Amino acid sequence: MKITVMTTDEQFITLDVDPDETVENVKALLEVETSISLQQQQLLFNGKEMRNSERLSSLQVRDGDMVMMASVAASNDLRLNPDGSAVNPRAFQQQIRRDSQLMAQLLQNDPALSQAVVGDNLDDLQNILRERHQQRLELRRKQEEEIALMYADPFDVESQKKIEAAIRQKGIDENWEAALEYNPEAFARVVMLYVDMEVNGVPLKAFVDSGAQSTIISKSCAERCGLLRLLDQRYKGVAVGVGQSEIIGRIHVAPIKIGHSFYPCSFTVLDAPNMEFLFGLDMLRKHQCIIDLKENVLRVGGGEASVPFLQEKDIPSHVRDEERLSKQASLLGQGPSSGTSGAQGKTPGTNTSGTSSSDPTQGADFEAKVQKLVELGFDRNSVIQALKLFNGNEDQAAGFLFG
């Protein structure tokens, strides 16, 4: 007699078998046809599993009937450990990727988990699965507490406090559920803004941060770009913010290429091995840059040049740690993305107590210096204070304002 077997990938295989054939022998024939080992096969007839020792006739399998074949490995791939992590994370990931409907649901309801499934880091996937397991346990615990409160003594003070806390938490949970439904992007990881640039002819992935006051380049990156020969060590100091990093000097001007256009740029040089190049607010303002998130591009010179922000896959792993870069940026900057109150760097050996017969902090020359620094984008009062601090020295005042 002939039977038809439908495999897991919806292929149909016709087998010519004897009615008294054992299920195990049928699986052996299917192993030849499908390359799925006998141990990994699970045959179902009328919704019931067919055991290896049973015969087709005893299972009422007749000529022309259809048998379903499932892969035991496929079901095992989705098994989870007691802590919620996957027994086989790679197979678990591949199994979910193949289910387009499940992936669409994940993208809508749990963007963080969908990103972990699509990504290449299995540790991230395992960590998120553990987090979801803990969330389920916590939800179950809260439900049990709510049931217990329903039967609590309404005149007991402690019970009333627990009921009040439960009502407050319920409002928080409803707000969280509404955010998941209407604003799921808020729970996904935000990729920071990077663009392709060339510094002195050397291509770099530049981290664009409008919250960092100054444009920063690391010592190793400056050396690779051939700029250390221009390092002005008079601007040495220590940047203090989240931790501390040494300012080894300043490069006053060097060419950068954005798109097809060249622009002059100034850099503060840090001895910071974890950060290469950060395009800060000073140069963003000087070159009239526009961070266009609708078109996902950085426009320079009021729009004369534009470069697209890089996708996550295009950002090298050694510069992908945005949190570390933000902390490094906060050493010299202020603002929402820095996460700190700013930093202070001083040029050692500056004499601020000296006097002279002609006061350098007054007169037409002083006002000209003020106007020149104000044109760079600094507040007038800050410029005046900096010039007075450095006894009218324009270069040192500029370095102080940038650093």
Per annotation, catalytic residue among 77, 110, 209, 282: 209
Give the pair of three-digit tokens for residue 309: 């922000």
Count structural domains, the chain.
4
Q: Name the least confident of 97-106, 219-228, 265-274.
A: 97-106
Please report, as a single letter, which amino acid is at residue 199.
Answer: V
CATH number at residue 298: 2.40.70.10
CATH number at residue 23: 3.10.20.90
| pLDDT greater than 90 at residue 213 | no
Over residues 108-114, the mean pLDDT reads 80
Domain boundary among 51, 76, 101: 76
226 and 242 part of one domain: yes
Q: How far apart are the C-alpha atoms of 15 and 29, rounded to whole Å?
A: 8
Residue 335 lies in a domain: no
234 and 319 part of one domain: yes
Q: Give bridge partners of residue 262 from the DSSP assignment.
A: 257
User: What are the residues whose beta carbons fall under 8 Å from the beta carbon of 30, sequence distance 6 or more?
Assistant: 5, 13, 15, 36, 41, 69
In 3D space, the residue among 343, 318, 326 whose CA is nearest the CA of residue 246 turns out to be: 343
pLDDT digits (tens, 9 = 90+) for 197-211: 999 999 999 999 888
Residue 357 lies in a domain: no
281 and 234 part of one domain: yes
Residue 342 lies in a domain: no
Structural domain harbouring 200: 194-330
239 and 308 part of one domain: yes
What pLDDT score does 240 carry?
57
Residue 22 lies in a domain: yes
38 and 97 part of one domain: no
Confidence of residue 230 (pLDDT cuts 50, 70, 90): very high
What pLDDT score does 362 carry?
66
325 and 206 part of one domain: yes
Residue 358 lies in a domain: no
Over residues 95-118, the mean pLDDT reads 78
50 and 71 part of one domain: yes
CATH number at residue 398: 1.10.8
pLDDT digits (tens, 9 = 90+) for 312-354: 778 876 665 544 544 444 444 433 333 333 333 333 333 333 3
Q: How far apart are the C-alpha atoms of 372 and 167, rounded to whole Å?
A: 60
Over residues 243-261, the mean pLDDT reads 85
Domain boundary among 17, 47, 76: 76
Answer yes or no: 209 catalytic: yes
Q: How distant, in Å, are the alpha carbons of 268, 287, 334 from that of 282?
A: 11, 9, 12
Confidence of residue 361 (pLDDT cuts 50, 70, 90): low
198 and 301 part of one domain: yes
Residue with the bigger pLDDT between 2 and 315: it is: 2
Domain boundary among 187, 213, 235: 187
SS3 302: coil
24 and 40 part of one domain: yes
pLDDT digits (tens, 9 = 90+) for 269-319: 988 766 789 999 999 999 999 999 989 999 998 778 889 998 877 887 666
208 and 309 part of one domain: yes
202 and 326 part of one domain: yes
Residue 341 lies in a domain: no
CB atoms closer than 10 angstroms to residue 164 = 10
Q: How far apart are the C-alpha atoms of 345 and 402, rounded to whole Å?
A: 9
Please report, as a single letter, which amino acid is at residue 94.
Answer: Q
Over residues 207-234, the mean pLDDT reads 89
| pLDDT greater than 60 at residue 359 | no
Residue 353 lies in a domain: no
Residue 250 lies in a domain: yes
120 and 198 part of one domain: no
